[in-house]
Chain A
Amino acid sequence: MLVPLTYNLRSLFVRRSATVLTLLGIGATVTVLTGFLALQAGFRSLYTQGGRDDVVIFMRPSSTSEGQSLFLREIADRLIKSSPEILAVGDAPPVAAMETYFAVRKQKAHGAGETNVPIRGVQPTSFQLRDGLRIVEGRELKFGSDELIVGRKLIDRMAGCNVGDVIVLNLTPFRVVGIFEGPGACESEIWTDFDRASVALNIPWANAILAKLRPGTDFKKLEERIRSDKETPAKVMTEVDYLRSQTNALGMMLGLLGSILGTVMGIAAVFTAMNTMLAALAARTHEIGILLSIGFRPFSIFVSFLFEALLLGVLGGAIGCLLALPLHGIKTGTTNWDTFTEVAFAFRITPEVLTTAVVFSLALGLLGGAIPAFRAARLAPTEALRRR
């Protein structure tokens, strides 16, 4: 039979100051871990939100990001024309777009310094290739003019990106005519006419080709065909896979930092919990003797103490999560290490993040309580009853 739970609850309450300190220690650790996991989740979700598997991207075989890949325009053109897998309805041109992707130096808002804002040179079909992209302020791009439309997330983070502002690309002034919202990371981008950008910046090439596939296309076959084409070295990825790959460097770094911090702070929290439980054990040695004399088994004592420690863990974890909740939705941004351009995202506390946090806090409680619980169970009744 187990020792009553009220015993544990009240014992924690009676030693209030030690309990509170331990809870704070565990709580602080959980908050920090949750913060990092939320950053990671926010960053990753940005890219994995919009990915589809019937849209593909063509790049040079060894490029890891579209900004690195270079195709001469004729080559890009040829690639599009010679790919029957690309969707084409009736007489309309294939649903494919050549795009350039590069970065432009811009000042961040509030004098926070300079960063690289991604600019994408697009063609009319580019708009067909993004679901849910729409203008929310101003008007659409007029192809053939030196105009820009700015992704919504950039407005707060960058200086001089509002409708009517002029951004000079090399020597040519481009005017911002609209603000757009759209799926995934494109809200951190500025879009302009592919041809106009090429002229202004003196870059006569395309970086990547985006295309929509005919329904029922076997992607594997397409991939194989492109790979074995020796004349036009290229590779093709589904949008889903591509986007995921663009979160690798920074995503991993955030995860790594979070894990390291969580571990180190966790160690300190475990020590605090262990100290608290050991002190509780020392103060309650006589009580344990009484329980043993009544006939409770050492195993019950063990479970009882372990439960108390787990309780500390769970409560600490709850506090930690509550403290972290206000982070949800807070906007931030940094350089995506894969694309080397600025990307804006927000903290996202997902159910997975919370679950990880709670499991972590339980583990802290368990680790902190294991040794004290074990010691409590090993007490010989006669020793325990002897006065200190």
Chain B
Amino acid sequence: MISFKLVRRNLTKHKMRSALTIASLMVGVFLLCVLKSMVVALESGVAGAKRDRLVVQSAASLFIGLPLPYQQRIAEVPGVQKTCKWCWFGGYFREPKNFLGAFATDSDTIFDVYPEMEVIDGSIDDWRKDRSGCLIGDLLAQQFDWKVGQTIPIISANYLPPSGDAWQFTVRAIYKSESSAVDRRTFFFNWDYFQESFEKVMKRTPDTSTIVMRTKPGADQNEIMRTVEGFYENGPQRVQCTTEAAFQAQFLTMMGNVPFLVTSIGSGVLVAIALACVNTMLMAFRDQAHDVGIMKALGFTDGGVSGFMLGQSMLLCIVGGGLGILLVKGLEPAFMAFLGSVFPGYAVTGRTLAVAALVTVAIGLVAGVVPAIAARRLRCVEALRSVE
């Protein structure tokens, strides 16, 4: 049985080398977890989708909207509880880099269709009563330090404001959401205000980007989807109706290769840190050959000395990997704030950590296997003769 103390002593004898190897591992494992968490973020919209919601959008293009009269007809389909329309506003605050997820929506039905939204400041009624009022997510309020009662100018990339250079909205309520289907950085405002301003400039009624419906419990969703699509098979604007999950997923496939790219980069990182560890273990073996010879002469078995080398490798990797895991979990809140706008839903899941732990152990084994075998094979006499 190889003593843990012996293993540990050998590693502390070469502090710099051990420290560097541990540091490489820590940094590598940290990055792997961050990458995986970013993928989790990208997929979170899909993961959090509610099963009782269906989304209606134009079958032709994401850029084209649905005529308003559609909503009435859809609402009357049996099995539909409530409907709510969302129109992409293309809003940003001061500069394009502060792009928001901003939507004109139905203030009277949104909370029925999205029961997971909860108002934590201000009131729904205030918002409904104020034409130019807005409802914002708590993280958005935090990001720009907006408070209930404050008037904020929002520029729309798509729509000219009713006057001046920017649309003026007053914050009337702040919400929090439990599921990732509704992002906590979204900006909602009253449909009527939007319609009024649009009609003045474009001289026609606006279309809406999507119509979301909440189905009654036990309703046949496939039937509803078929019915709605059937209504408009011959126009004026053909539609497609999907579950909320499918709707979110379409954004993911548009990203194309990004999730794949991000995950495959992980392999590159793995290669780099595995190499660092293998290098270290080979060096360790080179200057411990003499010691191994002595151990064998004293009576340690082949299995024992090879376990000794493997033990060093595992200890290095476990410490390094462990530190990396601690670091990524510890920095999770900071990253959520920092990456929140680009990767909302960033989270270090238990699964990510499990994968990281597995990877660490695997590297420990890979790095330790060659010196372990070499130690096993080492002939006592030769090793003792090699005085540098």
Q: Which of A203, A205, A253, A265 has the most CB of B within 10 A?
A: A265
Instruction: Say which size band chain B's interface belongs to.
Output: 35 or more
Residues of B within 8 A of A119 (CB): 61
- A274 with B275, Cβ < 8 A, contacts A105-B61, A334-B258, A335-B254 known: no
B350 within 8 A of A: no
A233 within 8 A of B: yes
Query: Would you give the 0/1 interface string for A278-299, flagging 1 where the beta carbon is closer than 8 Å to chain B?
Result: 1100110000000000000000
Determine how close the nearest CB of chain B comes to the CB of A336; give it in whole angstroms: 10
Residues of A within 8 A of B265 (CB): 32, 257, 261
A206 to B135, CA, bound (A): 32
**B257-A334 in contact (CB<8A):** yes
Within 8 A of B (CB), among A364-388: 387-388
Query: Would you give the 0/1 interface string for B148-172, flagging 1 where the beta carbon is closer than 8 Å to chain A?
Result: 0000000111111000010000000
A29 within 8 A of B: yes
**B283-A201 in contact (CB<8A):** no
- A334 with B60, Cβ < 8 A, contacts A28-B268, A268-B273 known: no
**B275-A28 in contact (CB<8A):** yes
**B283-A275 in contact (CB<8A):** yes
Q: Which of A169, A260, A282 contacts B60 (CB 8 A)?
A: A169
Q: State which of A58-66, A136-144, A181-189, A352-360 sits at the interface with chain B.
A: A58-66
Closest to B276 in A: A272
- A21 with B279, Cβ < 8 A, contacts A28-B271, A171-B234 known: yes
**A62-B272 in contact (CB<8A):** no
Determine how close the nearest CB of chain A comes to the CB of B359; give it in whole angstroms: 14
B255 within 8 A of A: yes
Determine how close the nearest CB of chain A comes to the CB of B97; give it in whole angstroms: 9
Query: Would you give the 0/1 interface string for A28-62, flagging 1 where the beta carbon is closer than 8 Å to chain B?
Result: 11011000000000000000000000000000111
B195 within 8 A of A: no
A219 within 8 A of B: no
Residues of A within 8 A of B63 (CB): 67, 102-103, 116, 340
Residues of B within 8 A of A104 (CB): 60-61
Determine how close the nearest CB of chain A comes to the CB of B372; give it in whole angstroms: 16
A234 to B160, CA, bound (A): 10
Residues of A within 8 A of B90 (CB): 63, 68
Q: State which of B14-22, B100-108, B120-128, B208-216 sits at the interface with chain A.
A: B14-22
Within 8 A of B (CB), among A122-171: 169-171
A8 within 8 A of B: no
Determine how close the nearest CB of chain A comes to the CB of B44; give it in whole angstroms: 18
Residues of A within 8 A of B282 (CB): 17-18, 21
Query: Would you give the 0/1 interface string for B1-41, flagging 1 where the beta carbon is closer than 8 Å to chain A?
Result: 00000000000000011001101100110110000000000
Within 8 A of B (CB), among A177-236: 201-205, 233
A275 to B204, CA, bound (A): 71
A241 within 8 A of B: no
**B61-A388 in contact (CB<8A):** no
Residues of B within 8 A of A17 (CB): 282
B269 within 8 A of A: yes
Interface set of B (CB-CB < 8 Å, partner A): 16-17, 20-21, 23-24, 27-28, 30-31, 58-64, 90, 96, 155-160, 165, 202-204, 234-238, 250, 253-258, 262, 265, 268-269, 271-273, 275-276, 278-280, 282-283, 286-287, 342, 388
Interface set of A (CB-CB < 8 Å, partner B): 17-18, 21-22, 24-25, 28-29, 31-32, 60-65, 67-70, 72, 102-105, 112-116, 119, 169-171, 201-205, 233, 253, 257, 260-261, 264-265, 267-269, 271-272, 274-276, 278-279, 282-283, 332-335, 340, 342, 387-388
A-B contact sample (16 more), CB < 8 A, given A103-B62, A274-B20: A32-B265, A61-B165, A62-B156, A64-B96, A72-B202, A72-B203, A102-B63, A102-B64, A114-B253, A265-B268, A268-B273, A269-B272, A283-B388, A334-B255, A334-B258, A335-B255
